[in-house]
Chain A
Amino acid sequence: MATKKKVLLKVIILGDTGVGKTSLMNQYVNRKFSNQYKATIGADFLTKEVMVDDKIVTMQIWDTAGQERFQSLGVAFYRGADCCVLVFDVSAHSSFKSLDSWRDEFLIQASPRDPENFPFVVLGNKVDLEGDRVVSSKKAQQWCQSKNNMPYFETSAKEGQNVEQAFQTIARNALKQESEVELYNEFPGEIKLTGEGSRNNGGDNCAC
């Protein structure tokens, strides 16, 4: 099914301001790091073709503004997401604390069909600042485990460490999600007008 047409995976990156969302996205897609990024306003996305289990898929990675106040914008961007990446800064405890609210916010705004099993991936970024680290790997892992065992990666957008691996997982999980959605949306072969549908049928009469 997935091979039938071009698969587009929509991935949303969320996290506090300045944790490195834009940098991660650019490191992954363009394999470069710049310290010239400005604070993201509105939203932007990059696309990248990746191989996931012998399938070529297109990842559409959405980068968003980090200030929570801008999240009301989110609805438009979150819709139809296949995976959500939560990013925090290992040298900033508050950004780790915010993960909960980012996750909740996403689930509310995107309202995926199966919120319990919606794929999230957590990235603890800026591990290159090892000396500044205040969120231990253990603590982050514990949190991820408590949240339906989200995959956790420690990344450095600056040095590219672990970024590729993290996004591979993101792509794979997103594809899984996408396939499930596909299952539901598969051309059904028959159109049932039973139950609720009978109302529609009544509507038909009117329309004619």
Chain B
Amino acid sequence: MYWDYAINLNLDEVVYVHCHQKSEGEHGGTIVLVGQDGVQRSPIIFPKGGHLLAFLSCLENGLLPHGQLDPPLWSQRGKGKVFPRLRRKSRLTLSSTETEVPPIEEETIDYVFQIISKKRREDIMASHELWQSPTCRSPRVHLASTSSSSTTSNKSISIDHSPLPLTPPPHILTGNFQTAATAPSGTSLQILCDTMKRQIISRAFYGWLAYCRHLRTVRTHLSGLVHIDMISGEGAEGGMTREVWTGLMKEDGYVEDAGEAFRLAYYGGVEPDLRKEVWPFLLGHHLFHSTREERVQKDLEFKQSYETTMSEWLAVEAIVRQKDKEVMAVNLAKLSNESTSGTDSVPPNLPTLDNNLSNDVFEDNMSSLSDDSDEAPVVDEYEDALDSNPEPLQKGDEQSNTQPDPQHQAPALIETDPVKVSVGKKPPHQDSLSSGTTRSDSPDEGMGDDMEEEDSKPGGSKNGGQTDDENSSHTNDVPSCTEQNSSCPSDTKPPQDQETGSPLIKTCLISITSNQSMDSGHMSSVSDTMSGHEQAGPSQLTVCMEGEENCPGSRSSCISPVSSNGGVYTTELLESFGLNLHRIDKDVLRCDRNYYYFTPDNLDKLRNIMCTYVWEHLDVGYMQGMCDLVAPILVILDEESLTYACFCCLMDRMAANFPTTGGVMDNHFANMRSLIQILDAEMFELMQQNGDYTHFYFCYRWFLLDFKRELVYDDVFRVWESIWAAQQVSSAHFNLFIALALVELYRDIILANTMDFTDIIKFFNEMAERHDAKAVLSLARDLVLQLQTLIDNK
């Protein structure tokens, strides 16, 4: 810790030490070091109490044996070193063989010491160069006044450090030199050779010892990172082709040699067309030793449970949306209050503002509606609103805050729209969901479409714009619609205009399209089952068809999903899911929109998967980056429930990387550090020089998303399947080796530019999606092999 305060001085360059002691100053004294060039170093001011003397004596000791202070300090029994001029008689220091105390003027308490290098003095007898070599480790005094070069010596821990203790203490050596001046040169050479021999042997020994320790460290700390058995990649370069895959698969879809499948995927990758089939295996969703029928069955069950889950959160979403609406209305009302200060005009304005808003949101890519449902501010917003516009909102907001159940809200609210939102939307959900379970052809597609239609997310923007329209249509005031149109003349989206212009037609459209997306043959059976288990079923359908006319029916329909799902939702749940929804919306919208696959339809699928996952893991919630993990799987599998299943498998491994779910990221960094230390000492040294663990934050995104953002899509597929397969082939931490490979691939650039923390972050951020994935993977596999060999080499 003290090293933080270290001052480095190269005493080679210092010739004079000036000491100034003020007799009555507040300081104990000052030392100024003067270099050969006559330049003064910054003065060092000492506190009172012998510190200056202690420093000098320390310096003198440090200078030995190659240099000394001139004049030397005097030693005094009981008191230690003293200044030479002190009155009492003192012994000479041991170090000074020749003492020439220059007369110092009695009055001064200032001193000038000269630092004398003995070597200069011994130049005369330095005719043989031999004795230069043993001292070459520290040719001249390399004494830093307060610090040692601890950072640089860390490099190869023991090789540099350990030999020192065994090496005969330097003063013995120099003692020899000094005697050598008088003794016959033969003896001195003999002594010299002996010393050298000892030194060489001890160094060799310590070097070997260090290597052993090093290996032990590797074994204990890093052996967990790779499998002990090395599985050769011979003949696997071609990867998994359809031919091989059908060869591996037995008659009823049973795959016997799972190991071979993993090996092929690891070394050669999976043929692009085959990924859809193979990925569920690699991810562990499908078991290799299951039959084809079992797998179909499993997928079917999974789909059913997926849809059930979806219906659960969709119901909650409707409530959340409705609350958002209220909050938004209040915020807007407040804002308009602030600006116009006309309290009376607020209630009639509300619908207009609302619609106005929805249009703009629709038009713009940034979804903003989602922001406003942060429930925390709601309460005080309401309170604020209460002050300004007393009666119309009062009842409604009180109840919506305390009782999320929409049934209670409905009668109280003057603007009846929110309730009807759920009316308009929910019944179709119920339809399609239950129908989804009965259909067997391709319900997933239909599902996606249904959701899209019903989810109040018209194509292109999923920000609830449509919900507003529904509201407007339900609020049964044509005036508001016209108001809306007039208030947003700039709205250029034709469909929007159309819809808002004729609300009634539009609502019909919704229900019709959602019906159409279902298999029409199942239509009747669906409504049958609906009416069977839910009284409100048929009436809901009519509500949808007829739009505004059926208020009572709509109310009851609004409760039904809630009650059928086991009762009222707590405010906490609504708030937390609402918050998650908005975050998901924001990120889904921003997810790889430049990639061809992510059309609005497919983004909806992504959103559904994400919401379902979060609904099932509400304790963890949505975390940024999850969308990036779903996306590639969805691109390959292109099917919601299966993607969801595989994503869950993936998250089993990846979830721990996310913050607050575990310190796994730190483990990754620590492992990276160890790996670099073991496999690239030079790089490790650079990173050591530049600081601490923060250096590995440039790997943060790599680990969090398994390099998804670092590579282009095709490479992501390849890298991901390698990582999954590697768990069975070479290492459960293959991501570490890919990270290491990325660093190693650019090591020359990094080293040549001595990149620091920020440089490296910048470098890799700029290199994103420009890496040569093939080279990276092949290097990563080599690195695994290197470590395996190192560990194996006992």
Contacts and interface: CB of A to CB of B under 8 A. Distances in A.
Contacts of A35: 365, 593
B54 interface: yes
B488 A191 contact: no
Interface in A103-132: 126, 129, 131-132
A44 interface: yes
A37 interface: yes
A159 to B, nearest CB: 12
Contacts of B331: 93, 134
Nearest to B44: A191
B673 to A, nearest CB: 15
Contacts of A131: 356-357, 359-360, 488
A45 B758 CA distance: 9
A98 B359 CA distance: 26
Interface residues of B, number: 77
Given A76-B697, A134-B328, A134-B331, A97 B374 contact: yes
Nearest to A22: B590
Contacts of A185: none
Given A39-B624, A136-B338, A203-B2, A94 B371 contact: yes
B583 A67 contact: yes
Contacts of B61: 208
Given A38-B592, A93-B372, A133 B335 contact: yes
A59 B357 CA distance: 37
B498 interface: no
B271 to A, nearest CB: 29
A139 B381 CA distance: 13
Given A189-B42, A194-B27, A93 B357 contact: no
A207 interface: yes
A38 B712 CA distance: 14
B372 A193 contact: no
A204 B55 contact: yes
A191 B43 contact: yes
B701 A41 contact: yes
A72 B366 contact: no
A198 interface: yes
A95 B376 CA distance: 11
Contact of B377 (A67, A93, A192): A93
B624 A65 contact: yes
B587 interface: yes
B335 A136 contact: yes
Contacts of A134: 328, 331-332, 335, 372
A44 B697 contact: no
A201 B46 contact: yes
A207 B758 contact: no
A106 to B, nearest CB: 17
Given A93-B374, A97-B376, A204-B145, A129 B590 contact: no
A41 B657 CA distance: 13
Given A17-B583, A17-B586, A94-B372, A76 B694 contact: yes
B660 A132 contact: no
A78 to B, nearest CB: 11
A129 B47 CA distance: 65
Contacts of A7: none
A198 B705 CA distance: 51
Contact of A41 (B44, B51, B335, B705): B705
Given A204-B146, A205-B58, A136 B339 contact: yes
Dominant secondary structure at the B interface: helix
A193 B47 contact: yes
B697 A94 contact: no
A205 to B, nearest CB: 5
A198 B5 CA distance: 12
A192 B45 contact: yes
A179 interface: no
B7 A94 contact: no
A102 to B, nearest CB: 14
Interface string B776-794: 0000000000000000000
A132 B360 contact: yes
Contacts of B59: 208
A54 interface: no
A3 to B, nearest CB: 22
Contact of A200 (B5, B332, B365, B765): B5
B361 interface: yes
A41 B27 contact: no
B334 to A, nearest CB: 8
Given A38-B709, A69-B660, A193 B44 contact: yes
A35 B365 CA distance: 8
B371 A92 contact: yes
A89 B371 CA distance: 9
Most chain A Cβ neighbours within 10 Å, of B59, B583, B709: B583
A198 B51 contact: yes
A164 to B, nearest CB: 21
A94 B373 contact: yes
B591 A200 contact: no
A138 interface: yes
A188 B42 CA distance: 9
Contacts of A44: 761-762, 765
Contacts of A39: 586-587, 590-591, 624-625, 627
B695 to A, nearest CB: 9
B58 A204 contact: yes
B62 interface: yes
Contacts of B627: 39
Contacts of A97: 374, 376-377
Given A38-B590, A191-B45, A208 B58 contact: yes
B692 to A, nearest CB: 9
Contact of B761 (A45, A95, A200): A45
A70 B624 contact: yes
A51 interface: no
Contacts of B586: 17-18, 39
A208 B148 CA distance: 9
Contact of B368 (A132, A197, A207): A132
Contact of A69 (B338, B370, B659): B659
A16 B371 CA distance: 9
Interface in B745-762: 757-758, 761-762
B360 A129 contact: yes
Nearest to A197: B47
Interface string A131-165: 11111101100000000000000000000000000
B173 to A, nearest CB: 19
Given A136-B335, A189-B42, A191-B43, A42 B704 contact: yes
A200 B49 CA distance: 14
Contact of B364 (A37, A129, A207): A129
A129 B339 CA distance: 17
Contacts of B700: 41-43, 73
Nearest to A76: B694
Interface of B: 2, 5, 7, 27, 30, 42-47, 49, 51, 54-55, 58-59, 61-62, 145-148, 327-328, 331-332, 335, 338-339, 356-357, 359-361, 364-368, 370-374, 376-377, 381, 488, 583, 586-587, 590-594, 623-625, 627-628, 658-660, 694, 697, 700-701, 704-705, 709, 757-758, 761-762, 765
Interface of A: 16-18, 20, 35-45, 60, 65-67, 69-70, 72-73, 75-77, 89, 91-95, 97-98, 126, 129, 131-136, 138-139, 187-195, 197-198, 200-201, 203-205, 207-208
Given A45-B761, A132-B357, 14 more contacts: A40-B624, A41-B701, A41-B704, A45-B758, A73-B700, A75-B694, A91-B368, A95-B371, A129-B360, A190-B30, A204-B54, A205-B54, A208-B61, A208-B62
20 contacts: A20-B366, A38-B590, A38-B591, A39-B624, A41-B625, A41-B705, A42-B697, A44-B762, A45-B762, A65-B624, A76-B757, A93-B331, A129-B368, A131-B356, A133-B335, A134-B331, A134-B332, A134-B372, A188-B42, A191-B44
Listed from nearest, the 6 A-B pairs whose CB atoms lie closest are A92-B371, A94-B374, A76-B694, A91-B368, A208-B58, A134-B331
